[in-house]
Amino acid sequence: MTVGEFNTTVDLYADNLYRFILKNIKDTEKARDIVQDTYEKMWLKVSEVESTNAKSYMFTAAYRTMIDLIRRDKKQGELSESNLHSLSHSDHYNDLKEILNEALTRLPEIQRSVILLRDYEGYNYSEIGEITGLNESQVKVYIFRARGFLKNYIGAMENVV
């Protein structure tokens, strides 16, 4: 990949990559750091990465960096603002997006990642498998389970509205 192709890749996919990471970890600073680390990793391997595979490489590197960060934070027992929000309780919701985001935070990290890659970013099953290191059938199972959980969590629209 040339420097021009690298810059084009950054321009094309930076927002999508940031949005994907932010949806998963709900921390703008950490999401920015992960995106920055991803571009650094890609820059270090710029001669090895082909421009046709750059998007997949970026999402794979960002996903793995995010998983490492999540595991490190779990070991440290960090109580972040997002954890405090999930501990609070409210009986009245008036925003469907807020309900969906709350439901997404309750999914296991792998299910949340595959559902976001599929439904928010539009990747197909094999691309999601490459990014997450799963085979295609595992991806389908995780997506099926995540959608089932979301359906049960959100429930009937009468309960939401």
| More confident position, 39 or 98 | 39
- Domain closes at, from 43, 72, 88: 88
Q: How many domains does the chain have?
A: 2
**What distance in Å separates the CA atoms of residue 10 and residue 38, rounded to the nearest whole number?**
10
- For the entire predicted model, the pTM comes to 0.54
- CATH value at residue 147: 1.10.10.10
Please write the tens of the pLDDT for every residue from 40-96. 888 888 888 888 888 888 888 888 888 888 888 777 764 454 555 555 544 554 577
Other C-beta atoms closer than 10 Å to the C-beta of 1 total: 20
Whether residue 134 is found in the same domain as residue 56? no
Q: What is the pLDDT of residue 137?
A: 92
What is the extent of the structural domain holding 158?
90-161
Percent of the chain with pLDDT over 90: 8
Both 37 and 98 in one domain: the answer is no
* Shared-domain flag, residues 2 and 43: yes
pLDDT at 32 over 70: yes
